[in-house]
Amino acid sequence: MIKKIVITLIILMALAINLSTATPIELDDDEDLVPISGSLRGASRFLAQHSRGLVKCNKNPRLCRAKGSPGPDCCNKKCVNVKTDKQNCGLCGKKCKHQEICCKGKCVNIMTDKRNCGGCNIKCKKGNSCKLGMCSYA
């Protein structure tokens, strides 16, 4: 019983220490934030010192190329990959339809597209068609 209490106290103290050492970066309240981690090679010293935290890509788009970023492109103050992002397919703001996904920057219907049947870059063999996301004989 005492062993469980001691372990619980140790975990709570470690959590409290971890939370108390976090230093937030002050940003404007009206702007979206993008979490990043990892290397900021090529970024300014200020950004390198604050690599843990939330930063804005609209002020420094190269942050989207940092390790751990969701994508290399900055769209609407968020890091995305326009080659795969359904909300920004090919370019910022271009949304794919409900049944489509983004493959290599183009909206495709994986249920019927012979070149992306069931997923990106899954090609049906010559003479086959794509039905319900599966290649089948025509």
Q: Are 101 and 117 in contact (CB under 8 A)?
A: no
Tokens 């609407």, located at residue: 76
| Per-residue DSSP letter, 135 | E
| Cα distance between residue 17 and residue 11, in whole Å | 10
Number of H helices, E strands in the chain: 2, 8
Taking the whole predicted model, whether its pTM rises above 0.75 is answered as: no
For 45-100, write each residue's pLDDT tens digit: 444 444 444 557 888 878 888 888 888 999 988 999 999 999 999 999 999 998 89
